[in-house]
Amino acid sequence: MSTPTAAFAALADDTRWTILVRLGQEPASASTLAKELPVSRQAIAKHLEVLAQAGLVEGQRHGREVLHHPVGARLSELGRDLQRIGAVWEHRLAGIKKIAEEN
């Protein structure tokens, strides 16, 4: 399993983010994605590889094509991590606000 850092680094690229959002609608091949996006098929394949190495997408062979889809469990895990971080900071900020209001 890749680290959260690798996943967020993979998602930091606008094209990879666009690909992931698109795959969230329905699985697609690299060729299909290349037709829909202003990126070559070879570049799409490289982006898919980065996303796969980060554990964010998987490919599944269907005949001659490989259809790629998001890995929901991995995305949910990242979402939970972000929620935990956000909750800690909300708690800290609430404490700071309370102290500021008391003074």
Residue 1: the pLDDT is 55
pTM of the predicted protein model: 0.79
Sort strands 65-70 and 57-62 into parallel, antiparallel or unpaired: antiparallel
Check whether 74 has a pLDDT greater than 80: yes
Give the pLDDT confidence of 27-65 residue by residue, as tens digits.
999 999 999 999 999 999 999 999 999 999 999 999 999
Q: What is the mean pLDDT of residues 15-33?
A: 96
Residue 52: the pLDDT is 95
At 48, which amino acid appears?
L
Cite the DSSP H helix spans in the chain: 4-11, 14-25, 30-36, 41-53, 72-102
Alpha-carbon distance 25 to 12, whole Å?
20
Q: What does the angle CA 77 – CA 8 – CA 26 come to, to the nearest 5 degrees?
A: 65
Find tokens 């983010």 and name the residue. 17
Residue 99 is encoded by which pair of tokens? 């102290």
Residues 6+ apart with CB under 8 A from 83: none
